[in-house]
Amino acid sequence: MKKHASPARPRPPLLIVGAGRLGGALALSLSARRWPVRVLSRTEAGRGRLKALGLKPATDKDVHQARVCLLCVPDSAVPEVAQEMDRQLGRGAALVHCAGALSLDALGTPKGRPLGSFHPLCAVSDPRDTLAGHTVALSTRSRTLKTVLRGMADDLDLHVLEVPESQRAAYHAGAVLSAGGVVALLSAAVEALGCAGIPADEALTALLPLTRSAVRGMEARGLAGGLTGPIARGDAGIVARHLASLPPDAAVLYRLLSQRALLLAGPRLAPEARTALAELLAAPSSVKRPA
């Protein structure tokens, strides 16, 4: 029997407000997957970025014809820009913000508009960064809009995560810890190598592959299975020497992270090793830096 072709996925006209890193990345990726995308930038610098990226700037007609408007603007600007776009968009067009920490309430209460959020969990440092293989957090009360947003996610090869509206801040805090938090952690690691006389650029070059190997371990064996180092081995003596060698702020960070690591490693450690580590990590005043 002849197979019926599956219906084409609906790709309504999209308007992306904001020509920054995320707005540019979404526009480039969705355009490449045949979504009709226009980008609205209110600054000359933004319009220059659009031209450099080969993206199409939105006209007044594009704004009115858009069926979904994605707000890729700073979190603090979302309420004001949402009000502004509510006055410009055509009837029934959806308003969607891309802010991880904000609930749908940030979009206000425009009448007759579906509201949603679409937050890719990807550390976008350049508009040309790929989003494929990452996760996106979705939220909307509209079934029609959810279908469109899931279609966008599928075309972008994004895994969909639905986050409760009341817990957006906790979700976003976790996301920040896994991205910006890792960058901040590596800055402390670079500082630690600096105490050993290693220049910062050489330290980062050495540490990045190590970090990638740790991520590969977690991908293959989970959090506890991917844990390495003296905590995983139950070596309290090495941990004490580490704490004594670090600057005070880095030592505090090392201690807190080691306490978390002990929770992961604890079940497989010998009781005496677990107790020694717990006592060492609970007593910051007992470890002094060498004179």
pLDDT digits (tens, 9 = 90+) for 85-106: 999 999 999 999 999 999 999 9
Contact 25, 124 (CB under 8 A): yes
Confidence label for 265 from pLDDT (cuts 50, 70 and 90): very high
**Reduced DSSP (H G I as helix, E B as strand, rest coil) percent helix, strand, coil of the chain, to 5:** 55, 10, 30
- Checking if the pLDDT of 2 tops 80, the result is no
- Checking if the pLDDT of 8 tops 50, the result is yes
Regarding beta strands 94-97 and 159-162, do their DSSP bridges make them parallel or antiparallel, or are they unpaired?
A: unpaired
Round to whole Å and give the CA distance between 130 and 48: 21
Secondary structure of residue 269 in the 3-state scheme? coil
Contact 115, 140 (CB under 8 A): yes
- Span of 2-11, 43-52, 86-95, 118-127 with lowest mean pLDDT: 2-11
Task: Report pLDDT for 165.
Answer: 86
pLDDT in tens, 221-259: 999 999 999 999 999 999 999 999 999 999 999 999 999
Confidence label for 284 from pLDDT (cuts 50, 70 and 90): low
Q: Helix H segments across 35-99?
A: 44-53, 60-65, 78-88
- Name the DSSP letter for residue 34: T
* Side-chain-facing half-sphere of 221: CA atoms under 13 Å: 10
- Checking if the pLDDT of 70 tops 50, the result is yes
Residue with the bigger pLDDT between 215 and 5: it is: 215
Round to whole Å and give the CA distance between 154 and 10: 12
Task: Report pLDDT for 10.
Answer: 79
Residue with the bigger pLDDT between 42 and 279: it is: 279
Contact 78, 107 (CB under 8 A): yes
Round to whole Å and give the CA distance between 188 and 191: 5
